[in-house]
Structure 1
Amino acid sequence: MNEIKVIAIDVDGTLLNSKKQLTRGVKNAILMARKAGIKIVIATGRPLSGVKQILHELDLANQNDEYVVCFGGGVVVTTSGNVLFEKQLTYDNYLDLETIALKLGLHFHASAPDRIYTADRDIGDFTLYEANLVNLGISYRTPAEMKNIPIIKCMYVDEQKYLDKKIADHMPFAHLDDKITFTKTAPFYYEANPKGVSKGNALKFLCQKLNLTSENIMAIGDEENDLSMIKYAGIGVAMGNAVTLVKDNAQMITKDCDHDGVAAAIEKVLQEK
């Protein structure tokens, strides 16, 4: 563990507890890690706007040498807002994904770097929830009006039981598997990202920039979209509340997000450093 130079941390269900709070214990552990020379990288499905308050609380905001992996790996950006990497969905991708939503009767929206767009006048409750969570406004646009809007990812958002029922059969999505990666990122979110976009690949990009290797990375997460970075990192850590797939691929399982699991994992690294 002496080789760990970067700790990549998911946000929801990992860094934050179930009440969406950053606890004192986690903040103190991160402060200790930074004092020990370890860089903290937030790796999230959120845009930069959705983690700004967290960055301020951790004294990471507005810096050119601190980084955030946003949109599940679709964007790598400095905390000062300098975009280092970005991969967008095409307009045709969007049209195909929107069509699936219509056929399956799922609420659906598209995320641009600075706004959420929906073609559904009956805006879904979870679209409203997401917009509030990540501090982005919502705009109604018809599919035709979306042609020149940069789209980083799309999301199918609905009640868990309904969503799970609709995505249980992958056949409606299968014709896009060579272009799109589909991932369950929360009980009520099913995300569509450009093929090749993942938190793991984003961390690989960042490692190359920082002249590090995977052995220098510790990654902590709980959901399926964290799996790629759990596998990539020299030390992959699953939260106690992580889904089974993440736990099965992790080298370490820590406490859950309501018992400062991130702090426990960091403290273990620092004890052996």
Structure 2
Amino acid sequence: MIICSDLDGTILVNKSVDIEIANKIKQYRKKNNYFVIVTGRGKGVFEKAINDYNIDFFDYVILSNGGCICDSNLKEIKYTAFSSIEVINILEKLSLYKDEFRKYIINTKDESIDMKYQYNLSQGNKFVISIAIQFYNENVTKKVFQNLKAMMGTKYNLFINKDCIDILPKNVSKDIAIVHLLNLLKLSENDLCVIGDGKNDISMLKKFKNSFTFSYCDKDVLKSSKYIVESYMDFFNKIEDM
């Protein structure tokens, strides 16, 4: 069996990981099951979370909403990068909204770079796999998201989650990365459960039949999931009965 789980808002809640949940995941893995974290975080930001919150209970991690798959040592198994021209094109369009940014991060296959509104292209694109922008409020985020979708939604994959927008290469998403990992591990969808709480989880919640979210989530997330649970421990109780 294999669980693919979102991180922020799902396992990592209010800047902490419940020790009971962490122990439950470790017990699950001891039974020859796989536990995969599927996150919008890039490698550098995820590494910080590992250290800050003692996240030591995963076999694989899917980073940048599907842009990069790594093993438990954060060694890349697969990644999809923009071309240099694509990076320039995206940053030119984002410059129209720079006054609305709280910050933006360039995620490469090796690190997460806080750009402070600037990006030095002199070193090449450094295998950029996603560009993440955080705005000052969710209303601005929604407005900018619609504008960006209209400008470049056919060329790239865009995801919105609360006050953040992530831009990825076309045909990159959480569900596509999970399918690749299932094939690598020679597992089927019947062996899989997925769980998430945000709009960037919708692709995997819709794709897989054993999908779970929480009763308090956004209505678009709720209607995308097959099963609704009250908590992460409730999720474990449900899958044990399946």
If the length of structure 2 is used for normalisation, what is the TM-score? 0.87
AA at the equivalent of 1:151: V
Tell me the distance in 1 between the aligned counterparts of 2:53 and 2:178.
18
How much does 1:59 deviate? 4.3
Number of residues of Structure 1 aligned to a counterpart in Structure 2: 235
How much does 1:250 deviate? 0.7
Identity of aligned residues (%): 20
Q: 1:168–1:79: structure 2 CA closer, same or farther, 3 Å change rule? A: closer
- 1:186-197 → structure 2 map (5 Å cutoff): 187-197=162-172
Tell me the distance in 1 between the aligned counterparts of 2:145 and 2:29.
42
- The Cα offsets for residues 72-107 of structure 1, whole Å up to 9 and x where unpaired, read as 110001011321110012222222221222213432
| 1:109 counterpart (105, 119, 134) | 105
Q: 1:75–1:89: structure 2 CA closer, same or farther, 3 Å change rule? A: same
| 1:52 counterpart (43, 50, 67) | 50
The answer to which structure, 1 or 2, has the higher relative contact order (CA under 8 A, 6+ apart) is: 1
Tell me the distance in 2 between the aligned counterparts of 1:165 and 1:228.
18
AA at the equivalent of 1:82: K
| 2:93 counterpart (94, 97, 100) | 100
Query: Could you tell me whether the CA contact under 8 Å between 2:202 and 2:221 is conserved in 1?
Result: yes
Q: 1:165–1:254: structure 2 CA closer, same or farther, 3 Å change rule? A: closer
- SS of 1:11's partner is coil
- The Cα offsets for residues 192-232 of structure 1, whole Å up to 9 and x where unpaired, read as 01111111111100000111111211000011111111122
1:269 equivalenced with 2:239 (yes/no): yes
- 1:38-49 → structure 2 map (5 Å cutoff): 38-46=33-41, 47=43, 48-49=46-47
How much does 1:160 deviate? 1.8
Partner of 1:208: 183
Query: Could you tell me whether the CA contact under 8 Å between 1:221 and 1:242 is conserved in 2?
Result: no
If the length of structure 1 is used for normalisation, what is the TM-score? 0.78
- The Cα offsets for residues 12-49 of structure 1, whole Å up to 9 and x where unpaired, read as 000111x2211023123213322443211111111241
Tell me the distance in 2 between the aligned counterparts of 1:168 and 1:208.
33
- 1:207-246 → structure 2 map (5 Å cutoff): 207-246=182-221
- The Cα offsets for residues 116-152 of structure 1, whole Å up to 9 and x where unpaired, read as 14262xxxxxxxxxxxxxxxxxxx534x436342211
Partner of 1:180: 156
- The Cα offsets for residues 157-197 of structure 1, whole Å up to 9 and x where unpaired, read as 21124533532643x44342232111112x22111011111
Query: Could you tell me whether the CA contact under 8 Å between 2:141 and 2:165 is conserved in 1?
Result: no
Query: Could you tell me whether the CA contact under 8 Å between 1:230 and 1:236 is conserved in 2?
Result: yes
Tell me the distance in 2 between the aligned counterparts of 1:38 and 1:234.
19
Tell me the distance in 2 between the aligned counterparts of 1:111 and 1:81.
14
Q: 1:23–1:71: structure 2 CA closer, same or farther, 3 Å change rule? A: same
Q: 1:55–1:36: structure 2 CA closer, same or farther, 3 Å change rule? A: farther
Query: Could you tell me whether the CA contact under 8 Å between 1:69 and 1:202 is conserved in 2?
Result: yes
Greater Cα shift, 232-241 or 157-166: 157-166
Partner of 1:91: 84
Greater Cα shift, 203-212 or 156-165: 156-165
How much does 1:55 deviate? 8.7
Tell me the distance in 2 between the aligned counterparts of 1:21 and 1:119.
27
